[in-house]
Amino acid sequence: MSDTNFASLKLAPDLLENLSTLGYHEMTAIQAQSLPLILAGKDVIGQGKTGSGKTAAFGLGLLNKLNVKRFRVQTLVLCPTRELADQVAKEIRRLARATHNVKVLTLCGGMPFGPQIGSLEHGAHIIVGTPGRVEEHLRKEYLSLADLTTFVLDEADRMLDMGFQDALDDIIEFMPNKRQTMLFSATFPKKIQSIANRVMNQPEMVKVESTHNDSTIKQHFFKVAGNEQRPEAVQLLLLRYLPESTVVFCNTKRETDELAEYLRDNGFSALSLHGDLEQRERDQALVRFSNKSVSVMVATDVAARGLDIDALDAVINYHIARDTEVHVHRIGRTGRAGSKGLALSLYSDKEHYKVTQLEEYLGQRVVPEALPPEKLLNQEAYEPEMATLQIDGGKKQKVRPGDILGALTGEDGIEGKQVGKIQMFDNWAYVAVNRDVANVALTKIARGKLKGRSFRVRRLRD
pLDDT of residue 23: 84
Average pLDDT over residues 59-80: 95
Confidence of residue 51 (pLDDT cuts 50, 70, 90): low
pLDDT of residue 169: 92
Q: Which parts of 152-267 fold into alpha helices (H)?
A: 156-161, 165-173, 190-199, 230-241, 253-265
pLDDT in tens, 380-432: 999 999 999 999 999 999 999 999 999 999 888 899 999 999 999 999 999 99
For residue 272, give the nearest of 289, 297, 295 by alpha carbon: 297
Confidence of residue 301 (pLDDT cuts 50, 70, 90): confident
Please list, in sequence order, all residues whose beta carbon lies within 8 angstroms of the beta carbon of residue 46, skipping any fewer than 6 positions away.
30, 33, 34, 54, 57, 58, 182, 183, 184, 185, 206, 207, 208
Which SS3 state, helix, strand or coil, does residue 419 take? strand
Furthest-apart CA atoms within the chain: distance in Å = 79
- Burial-class residue 380 by CB neighbours within 10 Å (0-12, 13-18, 19+): exposed
pLDDT of residue 341: 80
pLDDT of residue 214: 40
Average pLDDT over residues 260-272: 96
pLDDT in tens, 302-334: 777 656 565 678 999 999 988 887 887 788 777
Strand-pair partners of 458: 390
Amino acid at position 214, single letter: D
User: Is 368:75 a contact under the CB 8 Å cutoff?
Assistant: no
Please give the domain boundaries of the chain with CATH numbers for all domains.
Answer: 6-207 (3.40.50.300), 217-378 (3.40.50.300), 386-460 (3.30.70.330)
Res. 149: pLDDT tops 70: yes
Query: DSSP secondary-structure letter at 418?
Result: G
Q: What is the rounded distance in angstroms from the CA atom of residue 344 to the CA atom of residue 233?
A: 11
pLDDT in tens, 114-129: 999 999 999 999 999 9
Q: Using a cut of 0.75, tell me whether the model's pTM lies above it.
A: no
Neighbour count for residue 31 (Cβ, 10 Å): 28
Which SS3 state, helix, strand or coil, does residue 245 take? coil
Q: Which stretches of 40-165 are assigned E, i.e. beta strand?
A: 44-47, 75-78, 104-107, 126-129, 150-153
Confidence of residue 1 (pLDDT cuts 50, 70, 90): very low
Query: DSSP secondary-structure letter at 381?
Result: P
Which of the pair, 24 or 140, is modelled with greater confidence?
Answer: 140
Through-space distance between the first and last CA atoms of the chain, rounded to whole angstroms = 60
pLDDT of residue 3: 73
Confidence of residue 339 (pLDDT cuts 50, 70, 90): low
pLDDT of residue 210: 47
User: Is 216:258 a contact under the CB 8 Å cutoff?
Assistant: no
Confidence of residue 372 (pLDDT cuts 50, 70, 90): very high
Percent of the chain having pLDDT more than 70? 94
pLDDT mean across residues, the chain:
89
Res. 335: pLDDT tops 90: no
In which element (H, E) is residue 279 found?
A: helix 279-290
Q: What is the rounded distance in angstroms from the CA atom of residue 332 to the CA atom of residue 325?
A: 11
pLDDT of residue 205: 92
Q: Which parts of 174-252 fold into alpha helices (H)?
A: 190-199, 230-241
Strand-pair partners of 459: 389
Q: Which parts of 298-426 fold into alpha helices (H)?
A: 324-331, 352-362, 401-409
pLDDT in tens, 166-221: 999 999 999 999 999 999 988 777 788 888 988 999 999 998 764 433 445 778 99
Average pLDDT over residues 250-274: 94
Neighbour count for residue 144 (Cβ, 10 Å): 13
User: Is 46:183 a contact under the CB 8 Å cutoff?
Assistant: yes
